[in-house]
Structure 1
Amino acid sequence: MDQHLIALDLDGTTLNNASQLTTETIRTLRALANDGHIVSIITGRPYRIARRIYDQIGIKTPMVNFNGALTHIPHEAWNGEYEIELTRELALDLLDHQKELGIKTITVEDKFHVWANHPTKDLPEFLPDHLTKDQLLTHHNLTEDPIALTIEYHPGEEHKIIKAVNQKYGDFVEPRVWGGSYNILELIHRGIHKESGMFYIAKQYNISKQNIIAFGDEHNDLEMLDAAGRGVAMKNAVPAVLNVADDVTAVDNDHNGLAKYLQSYFKLAI
């Protein structure tokens, strides 16, 4: 079979409901990588909380973080690496107006660093539950342009934040609400979504669109699944993702849906 790019969302897709990789998933993805396919994690997660998953799978191919704003090969100096930054001004402006905008927690990140206005236990792993002195988000500590901003807002305040961001920074910033039970929105560079990283990786390996197969379950996977040669929604995917998908896994993420689909599609004996 021709070399494929296999683009993997993590949460709700490659990971089970305990945010873990199963042995079956690891064995399946390693088998595909050993067969010469490009297995790439394409996630909204920052690198700091996607690295362990990449290392557990044991792949050496590019990974996309922050929904397309960072593409790199972990643990390597890769000349194809890129990042698309926001601005320090935006982060500090929101920090200065956090109370009036209804911002509870603001987390600012680049590839290796995280800053926040305070630690929080609200969303373990995703938002920092402890901070060193130099990780406190201040005008003094934030000296570079970050890649991503994640805002935990007080319930019902998201429209106020989105309006303020769009008025001042809408020409280059795109706010996205996580949805579900989370009062979280993220700010990404306008026009940069997961499919940007997916196509960039495909280009590096001369893989045609028809040989790209992408998996996802949530709203931030929409563009990627819609653009891939074969977009596969998890059985547990939100309706909008199910509507754009070319196919749907037979079982959900908590029952090895991704692994079983890949085993069938690539005729793997696992």
Structure 2
Amino acid sequence: MKQHLIAIDLDGTTLNNQSQLSKQTVETLRQAAQEGHIVSIVTGRSYRISGQFYDQLGLKSAMVNFNGALAHVPHQHWKPEYQKSINREIALDLLSHSSELGIKTITAENKMNLWANQQSDVMPDFLPASITKDEILNSINLTSDPTALTLQYNPTEKQLLIHEITEKYGADVDVRVWGGPYSILEVVSKGIQKARGVAYLAKQYNIDQQNIIAFGDEDNDAEMLSFAGRGIAMQNAIPSIKQVANDITADDNDHDGLAHYLSAYLKLAR
């Protein structure tokens, strides 16, 4: 049997529109792992809000968070683990200029910690609905360099915010604007992207590039799908992702598109 690395995005891909794993998706991915394939979650989400899906799938392989800034094996020490951070001073500088830049909520996260300037009632899966005193983002509590910053901003200030971050810190960080209806952007270490994380996992598991299968639906999946030997766009993917993909699922994320495609492609036993 040819062993594959199966890199799966979460939102809009592996998860349905209720941000849940369907029974068929769980069964299919577990079966793929049981047959010897490496199933790895590769997501823009932090570990804080993606670990539950890793556990639900019963995975033992490495996963990638923050769009490639963190690679690790949950619940155990994994010697090849890496975490690419950004200077804490960037977070504190953006915090001090948040009002003039149109930043509403700013969160700083690493593998196990979160800090925020305030709680938020927007996107509770991603932005904190509540924070403790120790999680308030300030120079005292932020004791280490964060792995990623998530900024909820005023839509009218979008270009100003991107310009200011790029102009001031462009040599050290990259900025990604999230898809969907919410005005949110992410700041990560320079050069971070999902393809980098996938390439690293493939090296650790001795998987050839041609044997990487990657599934995605949004802009932050573009490099990963292009890098993979077989990049698969979801039926519900944005047009630019379908253009870079090798194939497109027949069904969308709300109708087990990933599970149907993977089951047929790998000829998984029924």
Amino acid at match of 2:136: L
Give how far 1:147 is off.
0.2
On the 8 A contact 1:43/1:66 being kept in 2, the answer is yes
1:35 corresponds to:
35
On the 8 A contact 2:105/2:117 being kept in 1, the answer is yes
1:206-226 alpha-carbon deviations (Å, 9 max, x no partner): 110110000000000000001
| Unaligned 5+ runs, structure 2 | none
Give how far 1:158 is off.
1.4
On the 8 A contact 2:4/2:207 being kept in 1, the answer is yes
Give how far 1:179 is off.
2.8
| Unaligned 5+ runs, structure 1 | none
Check if 1:215 corresponds to 2:215.
yes
For residues 192 and 22 of structure 1, the distance between their equivalents in structure 2, rounded to whole angstroms, comes to 30
SS in 2 for 1:156: helix
1:97 corresponds to:
97
1:264 corresponds to:
264
Q: CA RMSD in A?
A: 0.7
2:243 corresponds to:
243
Give how far 1:154 is off.
0.7
For residues 66 and 35 of structure 2, the distance between their equivalents in structure 1, rounded to whole angstroms, comes to 28
SS in 2 for 1:3: coil
2:4 corresponds to:
4
Check if 1:195 corresponds to 2:195.
yes
1:47 corresponds to:
47
2:19 corresponds to:
19
Give the aligned length. 270
Give how far 1:166 is off.
1.2
For residues 108 and 151 of structure 1, the distance between their equivalents in structure 2, rounded to whole angstroms, comes to 9
1:186 corresponds to:
186
Q: When the two structures are superposed, what TM-score results if normalisation uses the length of structure 2?
A: 0.99
1:86-143 alpha-carbon deviations (Å, 9 max, x no partner): 1100000000000000001001001000000000111111000000000000111101
2:143 corresponds to:
143
1:242-268 alpha-carbon deviations (Å, 9 max, x no partner): 000000000000000000001100112
Aligned ranges 1:57-206 → 2 under 5 Å: 57-206=57-206
On the 8 A contact 1:153/1:184 being kept in 2, the answer is yes
SS in 1 for 2:166: helix
